[in-house]
Amino acid sequence: MYETWEELEKSIQNCQKCKLYKTRQNIVFGTGNKNAKIMFIGEGPGADEDKQGEPFVGRAGKLMNMAFDIVGIKREEVYIANIVKCRPPGNRNPEEDEASSCIDYLRNQVILVKPEIIVLLGSVALKNILGKEYGITASRGKWVEKKGIQYMPTWHPAALLRDESKKIEFIKDLMQVVEYKLEK
C-alpha cells in the first residue's frame, strides 16, 4: 500500500502482473479529483480509453457525461477509475485473474481518495467490489453500506447504449447520489 499518489502511479508504470500488458497501448490509471466525495468505478478500458490513457472517453463515457450534466455532477469534481487498468482485448470482460491481480491498485486509490460514496458501474464492478453474490439487476438503485462507505450500484453506461429503457434508471440512481450528498 502506497501513501502517496506519486508512489502509487510510479508502481503501476511498467506493470506486468497479468497478460493484459501485452496488448495495451496505455495504462488507464484513473482521473479526476483526488479528494472527491464521490468515486465512480467501471470495468476496464475500451479502445478509446486505451488510446488516450483516460477512463470513459469513448461512447459510453460521452453518455455518462450527458447523465452527469442532467443531474448536476461535474466530471472534474469526482474521481473515476476501473477494476482493470489495461484493456481486455476485444472489449471482453476482465478475467478473474486479471481483476484479482489489478484490484490492489484500485484499493489503494480508494484509500487515497477517501470517498463517501462509490458508484459501481455494472456487474463487473459490483461483483469485484461487493462480492460475487450481488447481481446488478437486483442491486441497482439500492444503497449498500460497507466499512463507512456508501455504495450505489447502477447500470454500466454501455448497457444504456444497448437498452434505452435503462437510461431513466441510471439517471434516477445518480439523482440518489446527488441527493445524498446534498443532505450531508
Angle at 177 between CA 174 and CA 115, to 5 degrees: 120
Closest CB 42 distance from ligand URA, rounded Å:
3
Q: Does 84 bind ligand URA (CB under 6 A)?
A: no
Number of residues engaging ligand URA in binding (CB under 6 A): 13
CA 106 – CA 183 distance, rounded (Å):
28
Closest CB 148 distance from ligand URA, rounded Å:
25
Cα-based distances in Å from 22 to 9, 68, 86, 99, 144: 19, 34, 10, 16, 36
Please identify which residue in 29, 40, 56, 151 interacts with ligand URA, judged by CB under 6 A. 56
CA 162 – CA 83 distance, rounded (Å):
22
Please identify which residue in 43, 50, 98, 173 interacts with ligand URA, judged by CB under 6 A. 43
Q: Are 10 and 27 in contact (CB under 8 A)?
A: no
Q: DSSP secondary-structure letter at 75?
A: G
By beta carbon distance, the residue nearest ligand URA is: 42
Please identify which residue in 18, 20, 24, 42 interacts with ligand URA, judged by CB under 6 A. 42
Closest CB 182 distance from ligand URA, rounded Å:
27
Please identify which residue in 32, 45, 94, 153 interacts with ligand URA, judged by CB under 6 A. 45
